[in-house]
Structure formats: C-alpha cells, structure tokens
C-alpha cells in the first residue's frame, strides 16, 4: 500500500492569508520521522521519548488540516513511514510548498503575510529584521533542538496569549520540530486563526542561508535582484 501525497499550491495559503480565513499546516521531515520511528536511538538529536509520543498522538488523531510530507523523508524511510501510518486518515501533501516558491523567487506568500500587521512569527531572533511581531525561539544549530523542545509549552502559552482577543491572526512558524506540536495545540484550542509552518524558508531574507539551495549563487543573485 502506497501513501497518497497530493500537491497543494502556494496560492492556497496566499488566499487564506489575504482573506484572513483559517488554515493549519505542519511539515513532517526526516527529523520528525527519525524521532517517531526511533530509527537512530544512538543519536541524541533524535532520541526524545516524550516528543515521540506527542508526535505519535498528533498523527493518530487524524488531524483535520493538511500535513506536509518531506520528499527526503520518503526517499529515506518510505517503507517504514507507510507501515507506521496504516490505519490513519490524513491529508498528506508535499511539504516543500514554500521552498519551491522561494526557489522561483516568488515571495507572494510572504507579501500576503505582511499585508496584515497583526500577524505573528515564531522563530529565531534574526527574523525580527523582516517582521516586528516575533516570539523568539533559538536558531537551529547542531545540538540545539533540545532547547526548542524545552520551550514548547512556553511558546504555546506565548502564542495563545498573543492571539487571544484578536479577531484573526496568521501565525507563521519557523521553530523546527516544535512547530508541529504547537500548531496542533493551537489549532485545537483556538481554531479561528491560521497556523502555518514556514520552516526555514524566510532565512535568506535575513542573509541566513540554512538550506543548500539558498547557498546557490544563482538563487542569491535572483534574491538580490528581487
């Protein structure tokens, strides 16, 4: 049995952000799947029993919003992932929606986000260069995920406090694997807002080139030339 993964156009998110209608979306990559499947227990970066259970609980609750499956994770662990997901009913879509858009120098999704000044980012401090409303996490470096995990409850409380009393907010997450947990919690607690996992796609707008494609000279030239 193969896993059905459909395509979700970036325009879907652009329209939700422009029209201020709620949507949730989280991304599931090789890091999440290594933790869920406990495939590298000797590696402390991926051996997190509590978070493993939290991620498991999300998937087995059959979320009513789309989840993004990373192509790399499927290339690495397709058989194991497919077996693990048997019996679930999840709307899987490709996870690289925003990265593909950025690679084409199409930042319309972020311009849509910027069109509403109450919107919020959750991510590393350097993102404040491009958006003032920021709940800070910690930039990803080798070995840092533990601290992001340790802040999951605190970050959830901060996001909840920010959206409470506001009619509509799009919350963009750039918080590594903690994003999956916070997005699911917030969608269940306050579903009238949008919670979207941007991943690291905004990094190059801050001169942080965290993905291999971001270090490509042609990509950087397109970025400079707008």
Q: What are phi and psi of 57, to 5 degrees?
A: -65, -40
Q: Distance between CA atoms of 66 and 54, rounded to whole angstroms?
A: 18
pLDDT over 90 percentage in the chain: 84
**Own/partner pairs, 210-217, CB within 8 angstroms, 24+ separation:** 210/140, 211/99, 213/99, 213/103
Instruction: Report which secondary-structure segment, H or E, holds 158.
Output: helix 152-163
pLDDT over 70 percentage in the chain: 93
Q: What is the pLDDT of residue 3?
A: 92
- Give residue 149's region: left, alpha or beta (phi > 0; psi -120 to 50): alpha
Q: What is the pLDDT of residue 216?
A: 95
Q: What is the pLDDT of residue 95?
A: 97
Matching residue, tokens 């049995």:
1
Q: Which tens digits make up the pLDDT trace of 35-80?
A: 999 877 777 666 688 899 999 999 999 999 999 999 999 999 999 9
Residue pair 169/194 in contact (Cβ under 8 Å)? The answer is yes
pLDDT for 214 beyond 90: yes
Q: Distance between CA atoms of 188 and 91, rounded to whole angstroms?
A: 17
The helix/strand/coil state of 92 is strand
Structure token digits, residue 39: 């495939």
Q: What is the pLDDT of residue 143?
A: 53
Residue-range domain boundaries for the chain: 10-225
Which residues are bridge partners to 92 per DSSP? Answer: 67
Least confident of 22-36, 145-159, 185-199, 210-224: 145-159
Least confident of 31-35, 130-134, 144-148, 184-188: 144-148
Q: What is the pLDDT of residue 114?
A: 96
Residue pair 120/113 in contact (Cβ under 8 Å)? The answer is no
Q: Which of 178, 183, 98, 171 is nearest to 144 (CA)?
A: 178
Q: What is the pLDDT of residue 226?
A: 76
Q: What is the pLDDT of residue 39?
A: 77
Q: Which tens digits make up the pLDDT trace of 95-133?
A: 999 999 999 999 999 999 999 999 999 999 999 999 999
Number of other residues whose CB lies within 10 A of the CB of residue 83: 11
Q: What is the pLDDT of residue 145?
A: 59
């Amino acid at each position: 049995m193969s896993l059905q993964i459909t395509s979700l156009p970036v325009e879907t998110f652009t329209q939700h952000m422009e029209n201020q209608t709620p949507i949730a979306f989280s991304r599931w990559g090789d890091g999440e799947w290594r933790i869920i499947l406990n495939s590298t227990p000797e590696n402390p970066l991926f051996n997190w029993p509590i978070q493993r259970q939290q991620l498991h609980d999300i998937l087995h609750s059959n979320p009513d919003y789309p989840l993004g499956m990373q192509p790399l994770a499927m290339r690495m662990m397709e058989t194991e992932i497919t077996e693990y997901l048997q019996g679930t009913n999840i709307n899987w879509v490709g996870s690289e929606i925003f990265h593909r858009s950025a690679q084409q120098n199409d930042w319309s999704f972020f311009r849509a986000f910027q069109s509403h000044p109450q919107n919020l980012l959750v991510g590393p401090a350097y993102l404040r260069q491009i958006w003032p409303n920021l709940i800070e996490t910690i930039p990803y470096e080798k070995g840092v995920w533990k601290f992001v995990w340790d802040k999951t409850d605190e970050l959830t409380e901060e996001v909840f406090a920010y959206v409470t009393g506001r009619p509509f907010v799009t919350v963009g997450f750039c918080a590594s694997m903690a994003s999956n947990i916070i997005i699911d919690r917030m969608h269940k607690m306050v579903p009238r807002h949008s919670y979207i996992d941007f991943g690291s796609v905004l990094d190059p707008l801050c001169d942080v080139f965290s993905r291999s494609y971001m270090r490509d000279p042609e990509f950087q030239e397109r970025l400079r030339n707008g």
